[in-house]
């Protein structure tokens, strides 16, 4: 069991949720405000995507990221800022011609291009999605090749940004370990085990336990589940020695029929952790755990 738990809040994500929650953060002001509320509730890390304010769709505009980060850091310089670097990996295969990529849904750029906002803003952390994945039904594929990831890991290491190694299946964990072995990831590695994303790793406690046995020595891991399993996943993570992630990126509800805020979800996670006899780490404590300067 982990008795010193880091809570991450994934504030808004990039999924098709803008019309499904009345108060999903969309504008930079809304995203920053939600991140700050989550930090006040106990999140040591805020994981940030941005969205097009006009459409609500996920975006990768550097200036949108800048607007969010500057607001967060001005109001709370202690909270750990973790920016996604996963945008730009979406490919919609053509049908019937697979090379006729579908423009609606395809946003595919190179690995280093996905780091433009990380280069500009130098956050504490950024995510690296450690493999390619059939992303749900139809022809959607998330593309993240080994050499793309090596290029990205090398660059964030040079920038002094800590990567959050996103693992959606066991093969992704295998490659995360490979990058660690190649010296592309600074100690201690921070690995996130992502469950419930079709068609990655199912939300199953036995699978989570198996994945933890594959972790490299010295690694810290965090994990999340999506939708109604998000909150029940919190004690499973703690019991297996890990940290937790909650937030509106992965789940919109506090309970059936009741919309959550990010602060609500962090508060609920903190209550569970503390009732288990553990404590929630402050940002300063989390920085020490993660080896952040």
58-72 tens-digit pLDDT: 999 999 999 999 999
pLDDT tens per residue, range 131-168: 999 988 899 999 999 999 999 999 999 999 999 999 99
Question: In sequence order, which ranges of 76-169 are alpha helices (DSSP H)?
Answer: 116-121, 146-159
pLDDT value of residue 198:
93
- Return the DSSP state at 45: E
pLDDT at 5 over 80: yes
Distance CA 289, CA 190 (A): 10
Residues 7-22: pLDDT tens digits?
999 999 999 999 899 9
120 has pLDDT over 90: yes
Q: How many CB atoms lie within 10 A of CB 58?
A: 21
The pLDDT > 90 percentage for the chain reads 97
Token digits of residue 225: 């589940």
CATH number, position 252: 3.20.20.70
Which pLDDT value is given to residue 52? 97
Domain assignment of residue 193, given as a range: 4-290
Q: Would you say residue 293 has pLDDT above 80?
A: no
**In the prediction, which pLDDT does 136 show?**
85
Angle at 208 between CA 229 and CA 203, to 5 degrees: 30
Of 56, 111, 114, 49, the C-alpha closest to 82 is: 49
Average pLDDT over residues 263-283: 98
Alpha carbon dihedral 142, 145, 149, 151, in 10-degree steps, equals -130
- With a cut of 90, say whether residue 273 has pLDDT above it: yes
Helix (H, G, I), strand (E, B) or coil at 266: helix
User: Whole-number mean pLDDT of the chain?
Assistant: 97
Q: Which DSSP category does 25 fall into?
A: -
For the chain, percent of residues with pLDDT exceeding 70: 100
pLDDT at 48 over 90: yes
205 three-class SS: helix
- What is the rounded average pLDDT of the residues 238-264? 97
pTM for this entry = 0.97
Tell me the C-alpha distance between 236 and 218, whole Å: 20
User: How high is the pLDDT of residue 216?
Assistant: 94
CA dist 249 and 58 (Å) reads: 11
Nearest to 35 by CA among 78, 86, 79, 65: 79
How many helices and strands, by DSSP H and E, does the chain display?
9, 18
Cis peptide before 188 (omega within 30 of 0): yes
Reported confidence tier of residue 179, pLDDT bands at 50, 70, 90: very high
Q: Which of 286, 166, 278, 290 is nearest to 219 (CA)?
A: 290
Task: Say if residue 74's pLDDT is above 90.
Answer: yes
Which region among 103-107, 183-187, 194-198, 285-289 has the lowest average model confidence (pLDDT)? Answer: 103-107
CA–CA–CA angle 39, 45, 47 (5° rounding): 105
pLDDT at residue number 244:
98
Q: How many domains is the chain partitioned into structurally?
A: 1
Longest dimension (CA), the chain: 56
Q: What number of residues does the chain have? A: 293
Tell me how far CA of residue 168 lies from CA of 46, 131, 134, 188, in angstroms: 20, 8, 11, 20
User: Can you read off the two tokens belonging to residue 67?
Assistant: 């607007």
């Amino acid at each position: 069991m982990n008795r010193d738990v880091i809570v991450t809040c994934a504030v808004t994500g990039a999924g098709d949720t803008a019309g499904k929650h009345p108060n999903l953060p969309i504008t930079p002001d809304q995203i920053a405000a939600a991140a700050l509320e989550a930090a006040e509730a106990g999140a040591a890390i805020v994981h940030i995507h941005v969205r097009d304010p006009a459409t609500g769709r996920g975006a990768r505009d550097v200036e949108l990221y800048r607007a969010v980060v500057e607001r967060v850091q001005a109001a709370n310089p202690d909270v750990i800022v973790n920016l996604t670097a996963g945008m730009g990996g979406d490919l919609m295969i053509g049908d019937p011609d697979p090379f006729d990529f579908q423009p609606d849904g395809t946003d595919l750029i190179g690995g280093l291009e996905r780091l433009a906002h990380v280069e500009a803003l130098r956050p504490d952390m950024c995510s690296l999605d450690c493999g390619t994945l059939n992303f749900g039904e139809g022809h959607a594929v998330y593309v993240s090749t080994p050499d793309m990831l090596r290029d990205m890991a090398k660059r964030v290491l040079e920038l002094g940004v800590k990567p959050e190694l996103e693992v959606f299946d066991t093969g992704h964990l295998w490659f995360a370990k490979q990058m660690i072995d190649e010296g592309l990831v600074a100690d201690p590695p921070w690995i996130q085990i992502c469950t419930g994303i079709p068609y990655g790793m199912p939300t199953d406690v036995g699978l989570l336990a198996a994945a933890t046995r594959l972790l490299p020595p010295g690694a810290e891991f965090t994990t999340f589940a999506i939708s109604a399993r998000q909150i029940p996943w919190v004690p499973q993570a703690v019991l297996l020695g890990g940290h937790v992630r909650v937030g509106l990126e992965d789940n919109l509800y506090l309970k059936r029929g009741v919309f959550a805020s990010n602060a609500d979800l962090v508060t609920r996670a903190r209550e569970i952790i503390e009732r288990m006899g553990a404590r929630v780490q402050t940002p300063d404590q989390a920085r020490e755990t993660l080896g952040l300067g």
